[in-house]
Structure 1
Amino acid sequence: MDFIWILIAFICGLSLKLTGLPPLIGYLIAGFILNAVGIEPSPSLNTLADLGITLMLFTIGLKINLRDLLSRETWAGSLSHMGLWLIVVSSIIIFMTALTVPYFTELSHSAALLLAFAFSFSSTVCVVKLLEENGELKTRHGKLAVGVLIMQDIVAVIFLAVSAGKAPSIFALGLVGLFFIRPLIDRLLNNIGHSELLPLTGFCLAIGGYQLFEFLQLKGDLGALLVGMLLSHHAAASELNKSLMNFRDLFLIGFFLSIGFIALPTPGMMAMAGLICLLLSLKFLLFFAVFIRLKLRGRTAYLTALALSNFSEFGLIVMALGADAQWINPEWLVILALATSLSFVLTTVLYRGAHSFYRKHNLLIKSFQSAKRLPSDRFIQPHNAEVLVIGLGRVGKGAYRALHNVLGNKVWGMDADRMRVHALKKEGFHAISADGEDADFWESIDLSKVELILLSLPTIEDSGNVTQQLKAVNYQGQIAAIARYEDEQQKLLNHGIDKVFNFFTEAGAGFAEESLAMLSKQNSPKPTR
C-alpha cells in the first residue's frame, strides 16, 4: 500500500474521530478523495480488502453458536424480509420507470428485480463493526443480526452459482468431513500456546477455508466463516480472535478505500444515491414488522432492524454481474457504491443514539410487540442478590469469585452471552443472561435489595449506558466500574459511577498485596513445641 493511501486514510479517519464519528466513515471519504485526485488503485489494495473481509468472517465464526442460526426468527426472519423486499422494491422501481425518472427509463422488469435483489442485502462489514464497537455482538439482537447476515450469505452463494451457470463441485459434498477433522484442529490449537504462532494459525485457517470453498466453486468468504464456526467451541477461540483483531481492522481499511475507487460520481449520480437511501427506512420497517410478527420483543426487533438497515458490498458484485451481462447500465454500479457508502454513514450515526431513543420511546415501540413472550426473551429475577456483577469475562469472573467467597449466594453475575452464562452455571455460578443496556430488563426486576453493582464491560460506552438505565429506574445503590486506561476514569465518573478501578493499576496492587502476604507469612516466627 502506498504511503499516500495511508496518509489520506489516517487524516480522514482522525478527522471523523475528532468529530465523534467512527473512523470507517473517514476511510470511505478517503477512497473518493484519492480517486478524485487521480491516484490509481493497485492490485495490493484489493488483496488487502479481501484479506480483511476473510479475517472478519473467520473471527465472526469464532463467536457463533450453530444453534443460533437454526432458530426460527433467524431463517424465517431473513427469508421473509427478502421476499417482501423484492416484491415491494421491484414494484417501486417499475413505477419509477413508468414515470421516466432519470436512470430508470431503460430498466426492464428483470433489471428492476435485479436492482431490488442487490439492495436487499445488508453489509456484513458495517453491521459487525458496529456491533463490535458497541460490545453487542453476543447480545440477543447482535446474534440475530449476524444470523440474518449469514442467511443472506447463503442466498448469495446460490445466486452466484445460478448467475454464473456453474453448480458447486460434486466434491463439495466432502465438506461434511470438516466435522471429523475438527479434533485434529483442536489438538493443533492446544499445542500452539500463546506465541506468535497463534495469529499465524488463524491466518492459515481463515485463508485455507476461503481457498477450499473457492476450489469447490463456492463463496470463499463462507468457507472462512464455516472454519471459524468449527472452532468456536474451543477454549482458545477468544484469544485467537483477539490476536487477529488488529490485523483484521487494518486490512479492512483497504476495503473501505476500494469502494471509493469504483468510479467518480456525477452530481446526478449523487442525487440518485441519496434518493435510493430513502429505501433504508422501508428496509427498517420491513425488518421490524417481520421480527414483531415472529413474536420478538419490541427492543430486539428495533435494534436488529436498525443495525441491518444499510446496503451491502455484495450488491456491488450483483451490479457488476448485471453490467457485464448487459442487463443493466454500468452507471448503476457507481450509484450503488455511493448509496452503500452513505448507508454506512447513516446506520453508524443513527445506531449511536439507538439506546437513548429506545429509552425515551420504549412505550411506543413495545406497543407493537406480541403479548406472548418467547422463552428466550423471559427475564429471570436474581433472588436475594445484594451484589450484581455485570459482565462475566475474565475480570468479571474474578470479581464474582472473590465476592462470593465473602458474601456467598448474595452475589449474582449477569452477562449478555447465553452460552457463557450456561457454562458458568455448570460451575456453580448464580448467573442470569440479560443485556445490561436493556431498559425492559431493569424495569422488570426488583433492585431494592441490591446494594452494589459492578460493571465489568468491554467499553466505557457500555458502562455509561448501563448507568443511565440504572438511573432511569431510580436505583439507589452504589455503582463501580472497570477502566483500562487512565483517561477513561474521569469519563466514567462523569456518567455518575461512584468508583472506577483502573484495571492495570489494581491488578498490580493486588499482585503486590498477595506477595507481601507471602513474605510476612515466611518471616513470621515459627511456633515452638
Structure 2
Amino acid sequence: MTELIWVGSAYLIGLIANRLMLPPLVGYLIAGYALHAAGISALQTLNHLADIGIELLLFSVGLKLKPSSLIRREVLAVGGTHLLLTTAVSGLVFLWLDKQVTGGLMLGVSLSFSSTVLAIKELEDSGELTSLHGRDVLSILIFQDLVAIGLLAFADGRQPTPWAAALLFLPLLRPLAHRLFDLTKAAELKLLLGVTLALAGGVLAEQVHISRDIGALLTGVMLASHSNIDELTDKIWGLKEVFLVAFFLQIGLTDLPNAEQARMAAALLLLLPLQGGLFFAFFLAAGLRARTAFVSSLALTTYSEFALITTNAMVNSGLLTAEWRSVISLALAGSLAIAAPLNRFSRPIFQWLEPILGRFERQSGSIHPDKIPETLGVAEWLVMGMGRTGISAYRALSAQEKRVVGFDADPTVIEQLLNEGRRVIYGDAEDSELWLELPLDKVKGVILTLPELELRASAITQLRECGFRGLIGTLCYHFDEQAVLIDLGADFVLHPRIETGNQIVQRMLDADAQ
C-alpha cells in the first residue's frame, strides 16, 4: 500500500507539474514534501531504490563518456573556469561567515553543476543533442558529472583498500564486455545486461571501500565505444528516470523546509542569472557566436541533481549541516521550474535580445566551426540535414553533375563527410542569421531532410521571409504535416513511406512488362 501511495503521488503531482510546462522532477520533490506533511515516512525500500537510481545514472554517464570530447577547448575552458570560480566564491563566503570552509568549498563545486536530466531532455526534444552546441553542453555536463563523482568519493569518508586501484582497470575489459553485448541479441536482454553491469560495478566498488557510483560509471565506460550502444543508452536512461523518482521522493520525505531555508534557497535562485552570464561570457571567449553561446548557456543555467546527491553525502559525513539538504532541494526545484520554459523559448528570446547580446560577440580572429560561411561558391542546390535521406539527395544531385553543398549541425557528421570528399558546411536550420547572411541569390533549390517538423517549418518560414524565391523540397512523416508545410511555402512535400511503396510498385510493374 505504501509503495502505491509513493508512486501514485509522484505520478499525479508530476503530471500536474508537466501540464504547467514544468519538469516532472519538480513534481516529485513536491510529492515528497506533501507525503511528509501527511505523516508518511521513507522506508528502507525507498532508500534502496534511490541508490539503484543513482547507480544507473552514473552507468548511463559512463555509456556517453568519450575522453576526446572532454579535452576540447570549450569543455576545459568553459566548464573548468566556471567550476573554479564558483568554488572559490563559495569558499570565501563560508570563510567570511565563519562556517565549515571545507564543506563550503565542496558546496561551491556542487552549485557549479547543471542539470543533466533537463539539459539532455530539452536538447533531445528539439533534435539538437548532436548539434555543435548540443555536443558542447553534453561534454560539459559529463565533465561536471566526473567532478561530482570525485566529490562523492571524497565525501564518502571511507579509506579505500589497496585493491581500490584495480577498479581503474575495469575499462580494459572492454573487448570482453563488447563481445558479451554482441552475443546478446534480444533488446530486453541487452537492458538486463546493462543493469547487471551497473550493479556489478557498484558491488565491486563497495568491496574495496569506494563509492558504488564510481564502480557503476567504470562499467558504463566498458561499453561506451560500442557501435550499437545507442539503443541500450536510451533504455537505461528511461529506466534510470523511474528509479530516480525514489531519490527525489526521498529528499522531500526527509524533512519540510522552514522559512529560513526557503530564504536561503531563494538567494541561490537569485544567483542563477550570474551563473548563466558566466557561461555566456566563457563561451564567447572560446570563440562561439552569440547565438550558440546563449542557447548553450541557457541549457546550463540550472542547479543539478548531482548537487542533491553530493550535498546528501556531505551532510552524512558531517561536512555540512542538515539544513542544506532542504535548501539545495528547493533551489534545484526552483531552478528547473525557471529553466524549463526559458529553454523551450530560447530562440525567440535570443532574437529579442540579439541587438544587445550580439555586441559582445568576437568579430575577428574566430575560426570556430559555428561561423556562418561567407560564400557558397558556385553551388546552386543546398541540402539541409545530412542523414541518410540528405546524403541520398546529395548523391543524386552530384550524379547529375549539379552543383550541390550540404549543411549539418553535427560536427561529427561534417568531419566524416569531408573525409569522404563531400562538400559539407556547418549550419543550424533554426539559426535566423544563417538564412539572412547566406548568399542565396544563385541557389535554385533547398532540400530540407530534418527529422523534426518544427525545424522544417522554421527553415521554410525563414527562407521565405528573407526573400528566397527558389524551390523548397522537404519531407513529411504524418499526413497532417503536408498541408502545414505547403502553406508555409514548401513547393514539394513527400512522404517517405508512400514514395517507397510507389517506387516498389513501379519497379515491379516495369519488370513484369519486360
TM-score tier (shorter): 0.7 to 0.9
Q: Answer whether contact 1:272 1:335 (CA < 8 A) is retained.
A: yes
Q: Answer whether contact 1:78 1:151 (CA < 8 A) is retained.
A: yes
The 1:345/1:69 distance shift into structure 2, 3 A limit, reads same
Q: Kindly indicate whether residue 263 of structure 2 is the aligned counterpart of residue 282 of structure 1.
A: no
* Shift, 1:383, TM fit: 4.1
State which drifts further: 204-213 or 354-363.
204-213
Q: Kindly indicate whether residue 69 of structure 2 is the aligned counterpart of residue 77 of structure 1.
A: no
Q: Answer whether contact 1:153 1:222 (CA < 8 A) is retained.
A: no
What count of residue pairs does the alignment treat as equivalent? 511
The 1:80/1:382 distance shift into structure 2, 3 A limit, reads same
- Per the alignment, residue 504 of structure 2 pairs with 515
- Per the alignment, residue 103 of structure 1 pairs with none
- Per the alignment, residue 426 of structure 2 pairs with 433
Q: Answer whether contact 1:66 1:229 (CA < 8 A) is retained.
A: no
* 3-state SS in 2 of match to 1:432: strand
**2:409 aligned to 397, 412, 416, which one?**
416
Q: Answer whether contact 1:189 1:236 (CA < 8 A) is retained.
A: no
* 3-state SS in 2 of match to 1:277: helix
Structure-2 separation of matches of 1:312 and 1:82:
13
- Per the alignment, residue 153 of structure 2 pairs with 161
State which drifts further: 273-282 or 5-14.
5-14
Q: Any stretches of 5+ residues in structure 1 without a counterpart?
A: 98-105
**1:146 aligned to 138, 155, 165, which one?**
138
* 3-state SS in 2 of match to 1:345: helix
The 1:449/1:177 distance shift into structure 2, 3 A limit, reads farther
Cα deviation code 1:289-340 (max 9, x no counterpart):
3333333333333222222222223323443344345444312211111111
**2:369 aligned to 372, 376, 379, which one?**
376
Q: Kindly indicate whether residue 36 of structure 2 is the aligned counterpart of residue 32 of structure 1.
A: no
Q: Answer whether contact 1:85 1:286 (CA < 8 A) is retained.
A: no
Q: Answer whether contact 2:288 2:368 (CA < 8 A) is retained.
A: no
Structure-1 separation of matches of 2:77 and 2:36:
41
Give the TM-score, by structure 1 length.
0.82
Structure-1 separation of matches of 2:250 and 2:482:
38
* Shift, 1:81, TM fit: 1.4
- Per the alignment, residue 303 of structure 2 pairs with 311
Counterparts of residues 116-515 of structure 1 (less than 5 Å):
116-166=108-158, 170-171=162-163, 173-174=165-166, 177-178=169-170, 180-193=172-185, 195-215=187-207, 217-218=209-210, 220-221=212-213, 223-225=215-217, 227-228=219-220, 231-370=223-362, 371-380=364-373, 382-401=376-395, 403-404=396-397, 407-467=400-460, 469-470=462-463, 473-485=466-478, 501-502=494-495, 506-507=496-497, 509-515=498-504
Structure-2 separation of matches of 1:54 and 1:398:
42
Structure-2 separation of matches of 1:440 and 1:318:
41
Cα deviation code 1:219-262 (max 9, x no counterpart):
54455555555545433133333444543444444444444333
The one-letter amino acid of 1:304's match is: S
The 1:166/1:60 distance shift into structure 2, 3 A limit, reads closer
Structure-1 separation of matches of 2:292 and 2:207:
39
* Shift, 1:348, TM fit: 1.4
The 1:496/1:94 distance shift into structure 2, 3 A limit, reads farther
Q: Answer whether contact 1:107 1:328 (CA < 8 A) is retained.
A: no
Give percent identity, aligned residues only. 34
Cα deviation code 1:378-428 (max 9, x no counterpart):
445554444433333344445545x44765554443322222232234445
* Shift, 1:373, TM fit: 0.7
Q: Answer whether contact 1:480 1:498 (CA < 8 A) is retained.
A: yes
The one-letter amino acid of 1:457's match is: L
The 1:221/1:75 distance shift into structure 2, 3 A limit, reads farther
